[in-house]
Amino acid sequence: MNENANLSRAERQRLQLQTEIVEAAFLEFSNRGYHQTAISDIAQRLGIGHGTFYRHFENKRDILQHVISDTIQKIMMLLSGENAPQAFNNIEEYREQCQRISERLRSFAQQNPLTLKLLLLEATSIDKEMTQFVQSLIQMGGVLTANYLKHGVELNIFRADLDCENTGHNIIGMITNGALRFLANPNDVDGLQKYGDSIIDLIVAGMRKN
């Protein structure tokens, strides 16, 4: 059931305007850069007044927080179902899962290059708190990745002495570096795929039980 079905018309309109403000802000951040974007730029794009903007958001930083949170939710959706940590039963299924995740992350990057730029380059230049927030998200990614590795150890297909926590963070580091490589050269699709394949080869060869 649509979760908005029971909302009043006024509340649905409020939520719709919030969404439109976030989308307009995202476009302005992408075109101008976060620091060069003023509230007036966002309001002008939508044809609303400053007062309307401040009834929905405290400031443009508040909006960026919404953009980042929405991005993380979308990425987490890529890691559900057949791509969840407990969804593989042997080393072949694990490799196939890695390949699916790699393909979906590449597709997400190609479809959302401006979002990645905001997350990895713009957000960390705003203030200490925002930098810590982004770092905490990357840290969370390492913890999540460690769950995949722990499942592999439990299945006895990965080495029993595998340092799952640190290896998980190392894998996220390689993925983050791949995202930065993509931002530097977004047209090198073949290179990005080869980079992803090399990560999979490295982690499978390094973790599997002999």
**Tens digits of residue pLDDT in 138-193:** 999 999 999 999 999 999 999 999 999 999 999 999 999 999 999 999 999 999 99
Q: Are residues 40 and 132 in the same domain?
A: no
The last residue of one of the domains, among 54, 70, 85, is: 54
| CATH, residue 43 | 1.10.10
Q: Are residues 45 and 81 in the same domain?
A: no
pTM, to two decimals:
0.83
Q: Is 4 among the domain residues?
A: no
The last residue of one of the domains, among 36, 54, 72, is: 54
| pLDDT over 70 at 5, yes or no | no
List, for residues 65-110, the tens digit of each pLDDT value.
888 888 888 889 989 999 999 999 999 999 999 999 999 999 999 9
Hunting for tokens 């002495």 — which residue is that? Answer: 161
Q: Is 184 among the domain residues?
A: yes
Q: Is 3 among the domain residues?
A: no
| CATH, residue 87 | 1.10.357.10
* CA count, 13 A, side-chain hemisphere, 65: 11
What is the percent of the chain with per-residue pLDDT over 70, rounded to a whole number? 97
By C-alpha distance, which of 112, 14, 15, 130 is closest to 61?
A: 130
Give CA separation, 184 vs 69, 121, 158, 159, 188, in Å: 24, 11, 34, 36, 9
Q: What is the tally of structural domains in the chain?
A: 2
Domain of 180? Answer: 60-207
